[in-house]
Each structure stands twice: as C-alpha cells, then as structure tokens.
Amino acid sequence: MTQRGVIDRRTMLRGAAALAAFSGLTAACGGRQDVARVATDDRWRQFAGATVNFVSENTAPTAAIAANLRPFTELTGIHVNIITLELTALVQKVALDLAGGESQYHVIYADPYQVLAPYSKGLVDLRELANDPRLPGIEGGFGDFIPTQLDAVGRFGGDAVYALPYDCPTIVWQYRADLFAKHHDRMADDLGFDPTPSGERTWEEYYRIARWFNDNTDDVAYGTGHQAKQHDSLMCDFSNVLWSYGGDYFGDGERVGLYGTVEPGPCRLGSDAAVEAAEFYQRLLAIADPSSRTWDWNGLAPALSSGRIAMCPNWHEYAAANEQAMPGKFAYAPMPRGPVRSANIFGGTGIAINGNTLPNERGAAWLFANWATSPATQLANLKSDAGGGTPTRTSVYELPEVKRAEHRPSAMPNILTAPAVRKAWEPANIGLRPKIPMWNECDTAIYTQLSRMLAGDVSPADAMRETATRFDRITERGWVS
C-alpha cells in the first residue's frame, strides 16, 4: 500500500473506448504476434514456452511468488517476468499500456481505486476465462473467495469480475497482550470496565485505555499511536472512526464501496455524524504519541513492535514483524465500536488481465492469475519466509494446519490475526472507501483537511464541510469514459 497518485486519465481514455477493436486490428495487421498454442490434452501445458509479464506493487504475496516460481513453471512450461513498482508508477505504466493497445503487462496488480475503477473497460471479464472449457477453471469456483473481498477488488458497476482477490490487508486493533495482562485488574478497577480489546470495546473506552497508559505506567511512552501523516494513511486511520460513528463519504456507501460507481452523488462528510467523528479523532490524536502526525503505516508499525506504544490500529499483515520483534507479546482484535458499529478498513487488491492481450497470451495470463490465487499457492505464500501475505480463500482458512497456526506457537504468524480479520470482513464490519474513478483526488482532499485539523488550523466541523465541498467539485466534473 502506497500513497495514491494521480495521472492524466483523459489521455489514457482517448484510447480506452476502442481497446478491443484496436487489439484485433494490431493482430490482423501483424503488429504483434500471439504466442503459440501447443497441441496437448493437458490444459495447464497448452502455452508451454510462452512468457507472461506480471506488474505488481511490492507486496507480501508477490515477494513470496517471485521467490518460488518453479512450481508454476514446472506445471505450465511458462516463464514469468515479475516487475515490481511503486504504485503510482505502476498505474502510469498500466494506463499507457492500455491506451496504446499494447499488452506489455499481461497480468496487472489492479488496485481497486487507481486501476479497476478508472480503467475497468481495459480489463478482461474473468468469468469468460473461468468458464472456458479449454482452460482450467478456478478450484472451488469464485465462491471460494471471501465474498466481500471478491466484490470489493473484483467488480466495478456490475456483475463482471475483472480481478481475482490477491491480497487482503485490513486494519485491526493491535496491542501488547503482555501489558494488558500485567495491568488488567488495576485498569479494570480504575476505568470501571474490562479493558481487554475486542470489537465490543468502544472508541471512548479506547481513548480512556490509551490515557490510562499515558498516566499510570512507564512500560511504554504512550498508550496509542496512529498513522496520521498528511498522506493516504491518515484517510485510512480516520475512516475507521468515521464509519463507526455512522458517517460516510457518500450516500449508499456500502454499494459504492463494494461495487463502485461513476456517479456517487453528494458528499456526506458535512453530516452531524461525520463532524462528531472528526471531533473525537482530534481528541484522540491529542493524547496519542506526538510522532503519529509524522507516521504512515510503515512508521507506526515499528513504534508498536519496538515497545514505544501499547496499542494502535494498523494493517493486520504487520503481525509477522510483531512476532519477530517480540514473540508472544502481541494480540489482535477487531476495531472498537462507535455509536453505530465497528469498522475495519479493507485495503486489498486483485490481479487482472490486460484486455489488449491476444487470445493465446490471454490464456497464458489466465493460467498464471488462476495459479497465483489458488489455495495451494496461497498456503505456500503463508508459509514463505520471503512473503507471508494472508489468504483470500475461505478454503485455506479451513485447512487443519492453518487453524492450528491461529494459536501459538505458530509457523504462520500472520494467521494469528485470523479471528480478528474474519470478524472484520463480515459485511457489517468491513470498511470500504468509495470505489470511484476520481477517488485519488478525493483522497488528497480528505487527508489534507484532516491534517489541517490536527494542526489546529481548522475546526473539525470546518474540516469536514470544506472536504465535502471539495469532493462535490471533484465528482461534479464527472468522468470521461
């Protein structure tokens, strides 16, 4: 996960409307030559000798796959080039590839907000490949993917599936279990409630726990820390509070987050619930580690794992680093509740296939995308020393060895978060930012105003109302398609 950048989408979209026609034209004119198809009854080996280019952000599953491509090569005879880029650079290169009618990148790490929402017309509907009798289908079918994740990362505006769920980082409550156990009885007496973290604790109780650590123990410097840098991370951190208070970015936020839209309607950040959430967030950050305003997720994670803070909200896949730093001293829970619900922002991404691919290129790309998201590969990633990303498949979590790993000692430390993230992924608890083509600009607007609020330059109410005004200006400009 990286800061969401903005590119010249109009330039890209001048070519997007004719992607399919342009692809066929270049093939007919000999501009590109398709890979060969081998005569074989083995559906996994029919494109042996082909090369597939996969462009990805540098994520945990990609690192694990890159470190162990031999099983795929032995299965298919296909060579895979993996190109890892910072996300903004990835989006720029993919947009140019799509606009030019090219398929330099056959398989694409399709961020829902920077790739899927603006460029879905340039991607393949994977249902066509999954149902092609000449190609291997998805083991367990689309239904084996966690449903909220398939919708959030795979769909845009309809039933088509443009990407298979590939990674699933989700913000959960991470805390020093040893310190909560050490001080449990005293905290409970002082605070008047059981301080053990869970999805039933409220944000007000989280605030009081953090302040208790500030005032009553030298075990840590601060009770809580946050990823409150003027950056995408600040939007993520605040969104958990916003949704829990009943606020949202647009009306019908569940639909906009799951399926996406080009026309989200008026922004709702000026509502009483959004202002109340901002007021609480400002108050919470006032007692948090002061360095929170300089941290994104990568700054916050070592603050927890080094013993500087007692707890924080952060992406669940930092569990492996926590366990390496202080084995056995951490635990994980769903985010606290606000007046309406517990909300846990989901940051997952899928992998897609370039719509400019020629028929056999597309088949080879499908073999890789299918294999890379298969249960066996996700289990291997989970065990990998090079990666450690957590699965997007229900069947993997149901494996006996994975269930055993949810408890210490665990050879799969990220799975220690499984009880928390399973709860977080339930429809009532998952937090989904708006899946709209213009989200990058909206993202910048919200974290800029929040940063001004935390600096004391604007009030929470003014920050929310100004952001709502900016959102409306952005979305009213519409989207060229």
Residue pLDDT tens, the chain, 481 long: 433 333 333 333 333 333 333 333 333 334 689 999 999 999 999 999 999 999 999 998 999 999 999 999 999 999 999 999 998 899 999 999 999 999 999 999 999 999 999 999 999 999 999 999 999 999 999 999 999 999 999 999 999 999 999 999 999 999 999 999 999 999 999 999 999 999 999 999 999 999 999 999 999 999 999 999 999 999 999 999 999 999 999 999 999 999 999 999 999 999 999 999 999 999 999 999 999 999 999 999 999 999 999 999 999 999 999 999 999 999 999 999 999 999 999 999 999 999 999 999 999 999 999 999 999 999 999 998 877 689 999 999 999 999 999 999 999 999 999 999 999 999 999 999 999 999 999 999 999 999 999 999 999 999 999 999 999 999 998 765 4
Continuous H helices in 126-176:
126-130, 147-154
Buried b (16+ CB within 10 A) or exposed e, 135-169: bbebeeebebbbebbbbbbbbbeeeebbbbbbbbb
Tokens of 183: 């001080």
Please report the beta strands in 14-145, taking only residues with DSSP state E, as ranges in sequence order. Answer: 51-56, 79-84, 107-110
Angle at CA of residue 285, ends 422 and 322, nearest 5°: 45
Extended beta strands in 152-273, E state: 164-167, 171-176, 222-224
Q: Using alpha carbons, list the distances in angstroms from residue 61 to 135, 154, 317, 386.
A: 24, 17, 11, 9
Q: How far apart are CA 336 and CA 334, in angstroms?
A: 7
What are 337's strand-pairing partners? 202, 342
Residues 83 and 89: their CA atoms lie apart, in Å, by 11
340 and 353 Cβ atoms separated by less than 8 Å: no
pLDDT at residue 389, as a whole number:
82
- Amino acid letter, 135: L
Cβ neighbours for 24, distance < 8 A, ≥ 6 positions apart:
none
In the prediction, which pLDDT does 436 show? 97
Judge contact between 205 and 233, C-beta under 8 A.
Answer: no
The whole-angstrom separation of Cα 447 and Cα 229 is 8
Instruction: Tell me if 109 sits within 8 A of 57, measured CB to CB.
Output: yes
**How high is the pLDDT of residue 12?**
36
Tell me, what's the pLDDT at 480? 53
- Rounded Cα gap, residues 331 and 408, in angstroms: 11
CA 478 – CA 13 distance, rounded (Å): 14
Q: What φ, ψ does residue 457 adopt, rounded to 5°?
A: -80, -25
Ordered domains of the chain (ranges, CATH): 9-169+347-398 (3.40.190.10), 171-345+430-476 (3.40.190.10)
d(CA 123, CA 116): 8
String of b and e for 209-239 (b: at least 16 CB within 10 Å)?
A: bbbbbbeeeeebbbbbbbbbbbbbbbbbbbb
Instruction: Report the DSSP pairing between strands 430-431 and 171-176.
Output: unpaired
Return the H-helix or E-strand segment holding 312.
strand 309-315
> Taking every pair of C-alpha atoms in the chain, what is the biggest distance, in angstroms?
79
Backbone CA torsion sign across 109, 425, 240, 152: positive
End-to-end CA distance of the chain: 27
Place of tokens 């009306």: 251
Give the model confidence (pLDDT) of 227-283 as tens digits.
999 999 999 999 999 999 999 999 999 999 999 999 999 999 999 999 999 999 999
* Residue 25: per-residue pLDDT: 34
From the list 370, 426, 354, 481, the residue with the least C-alpha distance to 146 is 426
> Token digits for 371?
């294999």
Task: Write down the pTM of the prediction.
Answer: 0.90
Determine whether 30 is exposed, middle or buried from the number of CB atoms within 10 Å of its CB (0-12, 13-18, 19+).
exposed
